[in-house]
Amino acid sequence: MKEVIWNELEEQFTSMQEIRRYLHMHPEVSYKEHETVEYICNFYDEFDIPYERNIGGNGIVARIEGGLLGKTVALRADFDALPIQEETGVAYQSTVPNVSHACGHDGHTATLLVLAKTLFQHREQLVGNYVMIHQHAEEVTPGGAKAMVEAGCLEGVDAVFGTHLWSQFDAGIIQTRPGAMMAGADSFTLTLHGVGGHGAMPHTTVDTVTLGAQIVTALQQVASRRINPTSPVVLTVGSFHAGDAFNIIAGSAELKGTVRTFDVEVREQVIVEMERIIKGLCEAADATFTFDYTRGHPPVINDALMAQHVLETAQHVPNVKAAQIMDANMVGEDFSYYLNARPGAFFFTGAKPLDGPAYAHHHPKFNFEEYAMVAAAQTLAAVAIDFNTNA
């Protein structure tokens, strides 16, 4: 049965491509994916596949009951786009100004829809049940996964799996790892309050530009000198805004950034160290501050046995050239909420373009090799079927 499904998925590549390109031309940002929701629901209606909508917001959950008793496995795809003006120049480029699918979620949705259709058509011969989770708002905090889990999308589910098409390595490569795979992604905003004044009379001011510069530099010591070097930490200040004139010392400044960690205790230590540094430098400069720290998605921690299941299963999948253990990645993903609730694993499916440069995710020229969707669908099918059959 697995081989039959693999073959049919390969035969339906054109359908995947058509779905992907339609969604690519009509992207919607997080929490505003209303037309995308209708498209997904219409697809399920066309094939009489039962589903529920408005799960935790714009989420959709389809359920396929196999004809033979077994476990229940969930598969997830996200469908929100990004507030980025597309610059690919492809014929199916986004028709929405300043919004594009610059992360591959259109491909994830196309993959899961065609896989759901194929599984449903063979449901009488399948062992166990298959839950298809179509998730909104992956790109923002708190994200759609948290709300969907809280709304019960994993009720009755024994294991959960998901994949991300990845433009940074070759199509046909599957990568995952046991344990920590992707980082927890936090954000912060620091507002400095000083005293502005004339640039020729700095002694009458409290200069938030020089103070901010000191803080940016000092914060780099958190990862390099305060945290155990065996615990990876990224602390990035990505935005620094102060003043608007060349001869005026700014009385306020705003710094924004992100913190990435794999361990909850390390995250809390980072916050303490950041506040200590900020407070000390502000006191020395006679300035005050407001520090807003947002704990974002938790780290993606794969169940060791489930990750091994993916690696072993993927080796036998058509269109998969190799299944590899990857290095941990500092990018964040709210698939972590599913893994906090059920055993499972997340994996990358290589989708590097065959021609032209491989732009990173969230780049205006991001694109991926579309045939990688077949490898993704076949691997998800194998992982799910084997889990239900052998569990």
Question: Is 138 one of the catalytic residues?
Answer: yes
Q: Nearest CA to 337 among 151, 103, 102?
A: 151
For 328-380, the pLDDT digits (tens) are 999 999 999 999 999 999 999 999 999 889 999 999 999 999 999 999 999 99
**Domain with 224 in it:** 184-297
Taking the C-alpha atoms of residue 334 and residue 355, their distance in angstroms, rounded to an integer, is 31
- Same domain assignment for residues 57 and 154: yes
Number of domains observed in the structure of the chain: 2
3-state secondary structure (DSSP) of residue 343: coil
Kindly tell me if the per-residue pLDDT of 248 is higher than 80. Answer: yes
Residues 239 and 284 both lie in one domain: yes
**Helical ranges in 257-391 per DSSP H:** 264-285, 304-314, 336-341, 372-390
* DSSP letter, residue 124: G
Q: Of 297, 312, 328, which residue constitutes the final position of a domain?
A: 297
What's the residue count for the chain?
A: 391
- 341 and 270 both lie in a single domain: no
The one catalytic residue in 138, 139, 334, 386 is: 138
Could you report the per-residue pLDDT of 272-302, keeping only the tens digit for each? 999 999 999 999 999 999 999 999 999 999 9
Query: What SS3 state is found at 194?
Result: coil
Q: What is the pTM of this model?
A: 0.93
pLDDT digits (tens, 9 = 90+) for 143-200: 999 999 999 999 999 999 999 999 999 999 999 999 999 999 999 999 999 999 999 9
Q: 109 and 37 in contact (C-beta within 8 Å)?
A: no
Q: CA-CA distance, 127 to 114, in Å (whole number)?
A: 19
Nearest to 298 by CA among 338, 329, 336: 336
254 tagged catalytic:
no
147 and 16 share a domain? yes
Q: Output the pLDDT for position 391.
A: 62
What average pLDDT does this structure show over 73-96?
98
- The residues near 91 (Cβ < 8 Å, ≥ 6 apart) are none
Quote the distance between the C-alpha of residue 174 and its chain's center: 17
| Mean pLDDT to the nearest integer, 202-222 | 98
pLDDT of residue 1: 87
Q: Is 109 helix (H, G, I), strand (E, B) or coil?
A: helix
Residues 37 and 156 occupy one common structural domain: yes
What integer pLDDT is reported at residue 356 of this predicted model?
83
Does residue 9 sit in the same domain as residue 104? yes
% of the chain beyond a pLDDT of 90? 98
The active-site residue, picked from 8, 28, 78, 80, is: 80
Average pLDDT, the chain: 97
